[in-house]
Amino acid sequence: MGADILFFPTAIGWDTAETSEEVNREQYEAWQTIQRSHAIANGVHVVAVNRTGTEAETRFWGGSFVSNPFGTVLHQAPHDTPETHVVEINLDLNRKYRELWPFLRDRRIDTYPQILNRFIDA
């Protein structure tokens, strides 16, 4: 609907009982990948903000970041300490990215009704 930037404020992290660094890393990477995918699919910059610290049984993984419309990370915040950082974004580049990869233009919205049917009356 004309957005130039998508903001995703989150408070997500690991269960403090989870001690596997591999599992923790994999979960964070999946979160970052899906946020970067939003940038690519929509042809806009994404600002994904996540808190740090611990509350109850959750250790928040921080790692806030900004990506361009191709999903390239322009800035990555630390995982364990809060940070405030200003990232300059050239919104004029959004058009360039959308022309290079016209993801939205090539959608087949005529096929959407078939996948949206929940088969309630089936």
Q: For domain 5-116, give the fold.
A: Nitrilase/N-carbamoyl-D-aminoacid amidohydrolase (3.60.110)
Instruction: Report which of 33, 58, 27 is spatially closest to residue 48, judged by C-alpha positions.
Output: 33
Residue 113, pLDDT above cutoff 70? yes
User: What pLDDT shows up at residue 110?
Assistant: 80
- pLDDT category at 119 given cuts 50, 70, 90 is low
Q: Which of 51, 33, 53, 49 is nearest to 41 (CA)?
A: 33
- CA-CA distance, 66 to 48, in Å (whole number)? 6
Question: What mean pLDDT is reported for the chain?
Answer: 87
pLDDT, tens digit, 9 for 90 and up, residues 15-57? 888 778 888 889 999 999 999 999 998 889 999 999 999 999 9
Mean pLDDT of 94-110: 77
- pLDDT, one tens digit per residue, over 72-84 is 999 999 999 999 9
